[in-house]
Amino acid sequence: MEDKKIAGIYIRVSTEDQAREGFSLGEQEEKLKQLCTYKEYEVYKVYCDAGISAKDMEHRPQFKEMLNDMKAGKINYIVAYKLDRVTRSVRDLEELISQLEKYNCYLVCDRDDVNTSTANGRFFVRMLTVLSQLEIEITSERTKFRLNGAIKSGHLPGQVTLGYKKDGNKKTVIDESTASIIRKIYDMYLQGKSYQQVANELNKGKILNKHWRDSHIDKIINNKLYMGDYEQYKRIHSKINKDPVIFMNVVEPIIPRYIWEECQIQKDKNQRTYTRDRIYTFFQKLKCPECGRIMKCKGSGGKKKKYMYYNCEFCRINIREDYVEKKFTTIISELLKFDNEYNTLYLPLFADKENLDKTNALDKDISNLNKQKDRIKTAYMNGIVEMDDFKEDLKIINEKLNNLNKRKEEQIKLGNRKKFTPENIMVNRDINRLLFDDELNNKFILNEWNLKSKEEKQEFISRYVESITFKKNKNEQYGIELVDIKLKSLYKEKINKLTKIGLSEFDMLLISNNEKVLTKVSCPLTRKQLNNYLQELREYNTINFYEHPTFENTISDVPSEINFDYNENEKLFKIIPIWSNEKLTTIKDKIKLGILTTNSN
C-alpha cells in the first residue's frame, strides 16, 4: 500500500448545481477516471452522492463511507472534480485535512489543480475553500432576503396548513371549506375540553374522514398562523432551544388574536389535574379565596350524591355548586341578556366590506368543488375508482361544500343588513326592552338558563368567564359571598366593538324626589337622530321625553349621579346625551341630557 497509489473517486452533484453549471455525475466520473489513468492511480471505488449539498460532511453517506475506507487503509488518494464537490465549509476542510494527514492520504482536485501532498497545495486548498464559503454565505443571505420578502407578502413556504390554501398567485389565503373546522376546534378547546376530547368529537363526527389524534389538536391550538403570524424555522430552532423568527400579520387570520391568546391561557389550565367524572357548570372557574388556586371539582357520595362541590385541598375549603349558581344568578342573567342582544342585534354592524365581498370568492370555491365532485362521479362510473374510495372522497367534498354554503349564507345575511345604523339598532334594542319589562325579561332569561343542559351551561360560562372567587360568609344567603369576577377577553372585545360604534351603555344614578334610581345612559345622539329615534319608539309604547333644564357639559364630564324630578306615575326608562351640534365631532363638544320615561300604569 505504501508504493501503490490507490484512489477513491468522489463525485457529487446537487440539483441546483446541475441546472446551473451542468456538473453531471457521468461527466465527472469519466474525467476523473481519465485523470487517474494519467497519474497512474489504481481506482478502488467510485463514491457518488447524488442531489446532496456540500454544506456539511455529516449528511453525505457515500462521503462518510469513503472516509471510513481511508481510515481502513483501502485508499490513500481522494480524487474529485472540484474542491467544492468535496466541501464548502472552512471548518469541515480543516477537519478533512487533519484526517488526511493522520491517515497519510492526499486530496487531488482536477479543475482546481489541488494537491494536498505539499504545503503549498494545502495552503491553496484553504484559500479556495474560504472563497467558496464566502460565496455560499452570500447566496444564503440573498435567498433569506428573498424568502423573507415573500413571507411578508403572504407567500409562505412549505406545505399548506389546514384551513388555508394557495390562490392563483401562490399566496396563502383562507380556505373556507375547512376554516370552519379550525374555528370549531378553538371553540371546543375554550370550553375546557382537552386535546383528546376535541379529537374524540371530531372522530365522532367523522370530520374530513380522518382519524384525529390529540397531537393534531395540539399543533392547531399552538399554531400562530391561525391568528395571522408565521413562525420561521420553528422546528429547527426548537431543537436548539432558540426562538423562531416571527412575521406578524402576513395572512388573514381564521381566529382573532384575542381568542388564540385565550386558548394559551386555557392550555395552562388544562395541563393541571382535575376530577372529571361529572359535568361541572363552573369547571376550572372557581378560585380559592385564600390561596388563589383553581378549585377542583368534587362530587359527594352516599345519600348526598346529587351534590357537587368545588374544593381547595390546600386550604380545605368546600363550596357547593348549586349555591354558587344561585348566588351567580344576577350576573348570569346580565351575560345571557348581553349575549342574546349581541347575536341578534349588534352582529350585522361588524360585517366589514372586505368580508361581504368574499361571496364571489366563495362561489368560485363552490364551483371548483362541484367540478371535482363531477370528476369523481365520472371516474367511479367508468370503473377507475373503487366504491370505498369513491365514498370516502365524496364525503370529504360534500363536507367542504356544506361548510362553504353555510359561510355563503352568513355573508349574504350580513350583506343584506348593511343598511343598519347604530341608531337603528338602538331602536330595535329598546323596543324589545319596552315590550318586556325588566322583571318579565329576567324571568324569561332565567327560564332560558334553567332549560339549558349541564354541558350548555358549562360552555356558556367558559365562553365569558375567566374566574370567580367566593368566600364563606354565614351572614350571606347560602353562606357564601361573591368576592371577585373576571370576564374573558371575548366579552371585553365585544364591549370595545360596541363602544367604537356608539352602542355601549353605562349605569348612572338619577335622583328623583329624593329617591335614587339606577338607569342606563346610551351613546350620544344629534337632535335629528333623537327625533327619528323617538318617532320609531313611540310607535310601540308611550314615551315621555324631558330635557334636563340646567345640565350642559361634555360627554367626558358626565357625573355618576344627577338630580331630576319626574312624575310619580312614570317609570324611568333611560338617559340619552344630546349633542349640541347637529354634526357629531368630538367628546369635547357640549351635550345636554334627555330623560326618557314610560307610564307606570
Tell me the catalytic residues: 14
Residue 301 class from Cβ within 10 Å (0-12 exposed, 13-18 middle, 19+ buried)?
Answer: exposed
Is the separation of the CB atoms in 582 and 530 below 8 Å? no
Is the separation of the CB atoms in 110 and 39 below 8 Å? no
Using alpha carbons, select from 186, 179, 185, 151 the residue that is nearest to residue 164: 179
- How many residues are recorded in the chain? 601
Backbone angles phi, psi at 504, to 5 degrees: -80, 160
How many Cα atoms are found within 13 Å in the side-chain-facing hemisphere of 113? 2
Whole-number Å distance between alpha carbons of 161 and 171 = 12
Q: Name residues whose C-beta falls within 8 Å of residue 43's C-beta, 6 or more positions apart in sequence.
A: 6, 7, 9, 33, 36
Which residue bears the cell 382519524?
A: 211
Backbone angles phi, psi at 296, to 5 degrees: -75, 155
Q: How far is CA 116 from CA 4, 103, 309, in A?
A: 17, 13, 80
The region that residue 567 occupies, defined by phi over 0 for left and psi between -120 and 50 for alpha, beta otherwise, is: beta
Using alpha carbons, select from 362, 358, 371 the residue that is nearest to residue 397: 371
Strands 570-579 and 590-599: antiparallel
Is the separation of the CB atoms in 523 and 578 below 8 Å? no
